[in-house]
Chain A
Amino acid sequence: MRALRMLGSSVGTKIILAFTGLALFGFLIVHLYGNLLAFLGPASYNEHAHELISNPLIIPAELGLVALFLTHIVKAIGNFGKNRSARPQAYGVKKWAGGPSRKSLASTTMIFSGLAVLLFVVIHLKLFKYGPVYTDAVTGNRDLFRLLLDDFHKPGYVVGYVLAMLIIGLHLRHGISSATQSLGIVPESWTMQVLRGGMALAMLMAILFAIIPIAVYFGVIR
């Protein structure tokens, strides 16, 4: 009983946020693999999508993903509220300490970048997963590649998507290394490597995701 209660504590909350955050990061890597198949042409892209959609495990996997998202969001919002109430009176003058501190734009805006990502996910699902259904004339499967081309020939969609990827990159810049720190799974001597690695990985993810709409717009993917 006490173990369960302790999961609601400040440290328990951070551990849950870290665990769900890293799991969602894992999902992003799998998602990115599917996206990058667009460079190989419509056949590879649509085949991968069909394999996923037609897999009987897709429903439980999606439910699990929703559970991860919801847990992360609910816990993060609750945590934000508690943290705000821990300092009822603000400082007249407050500066960043510098030095070994890793405080950054990313670390101070996690709740806002997170909520922006949530908004993006909703729009993204509505426009893509639950968007127009085209059918491939040859295979009879859903032609998501055509939808990809349709969407990203609109400059507004490209700009919006790239912006969203920058925000996800910002969220991950602090999120990846912070999660490993919260879980306490990194040996002490590796702290700096994990910090730098997390930042590099966040930037790489954002670039690889953002490159696809740009490639579509400029006709590299067609």
Chain B
Amino acid sequence: MRIHLTVWRQAGPNVGGAFHAYTAENVSPDMSFLEMLDVVNEQLIKKGEEPIAFDSDCREGICGTCGFMISGIPHGSQPHTTVCQLHMRKFNDGDSFTLEPWRAKAFPVLKDLVVDRSAFDRIIQAGGYTSVNTGGAKDANNILIGKDIADAAMDSAECIGCGACVAACKNASAALFTSAKITHLSLLPQGQVERTTRVLNMVERMDTEGFGSCSNEGECEAVCPKGISLKNIATMNKEFWKAVLQS
């Protein structure tokens, strides 16, 4: 396969960038999108040019490290798929793509397609945890949780923190990411101790980082590789006003 790429190249943070055109030759349909970029990078290195920087780690769709815009949609147009699990067999010989980093004030571009997502880490640090006594490992079923609650909590906990929700949102809002963690922990007994302060702290952090607010459009849900539902945001908002009334 031959693939035409228009890629955002930026040498580092706080410098300007521009789109550059590349052509990937001899792309196997069995390659993932990232493996196709690996091939392009090998060609660039052979020519003595700087390879295209992009993030990746597990390449199994579970770690949340990879991700960039493929022709205007985070992770590309295949639903519930990270870039690393997007395969070239889904495309045709001669297809063209525009690759761009996530764009948000809170996600500054570090280089090419790589952005700094540590704002997400700081939101989690603000309240996305539970306090437990240390000691010997507890029995797995020490605290009984109904299957429906465990399933609902797992649906929210599935978030891999890739940042596609922020990238897709017209307001660059982190509401889906933040609400998934708040919902996950509010459903479980372990999350009850910090339940009130958690939502306030995490929302406050989300704002400090410079993310926008939620317009309830659901672009985030549509591009989320894990299909995290917009319902999480409704739950976060409910948790929020309950916490405001209690505090």
Contact = CB atoms under 8 A, between A and B. Distances in A.
B236 A185 contact: no
A12 interface: yes
B210 A86 contact: yes
Interface in B207-225: 207, 210-219, 221-223
Given A12-B244, A107-B216, A6 B203 contact: yes
Interface in A88-125: 88-104, 107-108, 110
Interface string B1-38: 00000001000000000010000000000000000000
Contacts of A210: none
A95 B244 CA distance: 37
Contact of B168 (A90, A92, A97, A110): A97
A183 B238 contact: yes
B86 interface: no
A92 B103 CA distance: 10
Interface in B121-169: 168
B185 interface: no
| Interface of B: prevailing SS | mixed
Contact of A101 (B72, B175, B213, B218): B218
B218 A11 contact: no
B173 interface: yes
B222 A14 contact: no
B211 A10 contact: yes
A87 B212 CA distance: 8
Interface string A1-25: 0110011011111110000000000
Contacts of A85: 105, 210
A181 interface: yes
Nearest to A101: B222
A92 B98 contact: yes
Interface residues of B, number: 54
B173 A186 contact: no
A6 B168 CA distance: 26
A181 B216 contact: yes
Interface stretch (B42-50, B51-59, B87-95, B227-235): B227-235
Nearest to A180: B234
Nearest to A186: B234
18 contacts: A6-B203, A11-B213, A13-B213, A83-B213, A86-B104, A86-B173, A87-B172, A91-B100, A93-B72, A94-B72, A95-B77, A97-B219, A100-B218, A101-B222, A107-B217, A181-B233, A183-B241, A191-B231
List 8 tightest A-B contacts by C-beta distance, closest first. Answer: A184-B238, A86-B212, A95-B72, A97-B222, A10-B213, A83-B171, A101-B222, A83-B212
Interface of A: 2-3, 6-7, 9-15, 79, 82-83, 85-104, 107-108, 110, 174, 177-178, 181-186, 188, 191
Given A12-B203, A86-B171, A93-B72, 12 more contacts: A10-B173, A10-B214, A11-B213, A86-B173, A87-B103, A93-B100, A95-B77, A99-B79, A101-B221, A108-B217, A181-B234, A191-B230
